[in-house]
Amino acid sequence: MSLTVAEISVRYGCTVQGDPDAVVERVATLEGAGPGCLSFLANPKYRRHLAGTRASAVLMAPADAENCKVTALLHDNPYAIYARVAAELCPPPVAAPGVHQTASVHPEAQVAGSAHVGPGAVVEQGARLGESVVIGPGAVIGEGAVVGAGTRILANVTVCHGVTIGERCLVHPGTVIGADGFGIAREPEGWIKVPQLGSVTIGDDVEIGACTSIDRGAIDDTVIEDGVKLDNQIQVAHNVRIGAHTVIAACTGISGSTRIGRRCMIAGAVGFVGHLEIADDVVVTGQTMVNRSIAEAGVFSSALPMDEARRWRRNSARFRQLDDMAKRLRKLEKKLGRGDD
């Protein structure tokens, strides 16, 4: 597969600076590129590699064009254009239709003729797989679960009974969708299980990373709306709702019944307590503890920045005296008058 710079510029609305007949057939970083490579500049951190690149063409914002010595494709969103061209140059492999002989498909499951069920995969009673669905090796699709057309469930994923997944989704290995929510009730002699009778509903165009868990609802469903992108090692508790086009980075945990708005950007290792309402377009930085609802768009944080351990120990020891310090400061001010008196 190859494309000319002219073809890319026409298809994606880029301006060309340099040779429109240059041909690209693969992608590379600015540093690693050679002839035949398309590269891109999106993160300003890598701007220093532009001058020396040997790429045949580089996608970039117009403002960077003057520092480019090779052919440039200019666009306001070079990263998105890169994504589209890379997908053309390196399309994902197409899985052959059919059920592998070592897979186990229940006779009462429905599998579209164009679907692929890999070795060792299990499709249980009443499950339905749409056209072009891919079920990876060792993946398990539980009773009555529904997987929409074009969705790929990769190796060793577990989709529990009754879960509904939309179209064109991608679920990475080791992930679990629809395990019981953590519902327990205290009794004098211990805890008893609260039956988890809801399910999980996932919209279209959702991507879910590896080793992530999304629990089924206690009564109503846990809901992941269209276009949500979840990274690896994420925990989504029962009855959470994640609004359309929200993205969440790895290791974040969301406690039960919290609702996150649309188009939010949640960084890694964030923890949400339960029963919160988070507005649309909220941004949360890494390792934040989201301990209250957020009524409108904004950026939110709570983690302390790193310090050299010796200094950190001195300061963190003082943290225990902070309330005391505040009171003593107030007393001094009373005695002396505030500085602005």
Kindly list the catalytic residues.
Answer: 238
- Pick from 244, 162, 160, 261: nearest CA to 204: 244
Residues of 121-139 as b/e, b for ≥16 C-beta within 10 angstroms?
Answer: bbbbebbbbbebbbbbbbb
Q: Taking CB under 8 A as the rule, does residue 219 contact its own copies?
A: yes
Strands 271-272 and 152-153: unpaired
Q: Which of 245, 258, 259, 266 binds its own copies (CB under 8 A)?
A: 245
Q: Which of 94, 107, 113, 187 binds its own copies (CB under 8 A)?
A: 187
Structure tokens at 90: 């390196």
Q: Which of 127, 251, 260, 266 binds its own copies (CB under 8 A)?
A: 251
Nearer to its own copies, 20 or 211 (CB): 211
Kindly state the smallest distance separating residue 130's Cβ from its own copies, in Å. Answer: 20
> What is the total count of residues that contact its own copies (CB under 8 A)?
140
**Residue 143 CA, distance from chain mean position:** 27
Q: How far apart are CA 8 and CA 3, in angstroms?
A: 7
Nearer to its own copies, 23 or 182 (CB): 182
Q: Which of 5, 14, 24, 28 binds its own copies (CB under 8 A)?
A: 28
- Pick from 171, 315, 275, 185: nearest CA to 232: 171
Kindly state the smallest distance separating residue 197's Cβ from its own copies, in Å. Answer: 5
68, 16 contact by CB (below 8 A): no
Q: Which of 50, 231, 242, 259 binds its own copies (CB under 8 A)?
A: 231
Q: Taking CB under 8 A as the rule, does residue 107 contact its own copies?
A: no
- Of the candidate spans 49-57, 67-75, 98-106, 126-134, the one that interacts with its own copies by CB under 8 A turns out to be 98-106
Q: How far apart are CA 127 and CA 147, in angstroms?
A: 8
- Of the candidate spans 50-58, 62-70, 108-116, 185-193, the one that interacts with its own copies by CB under 8 A turns out to be 185-193
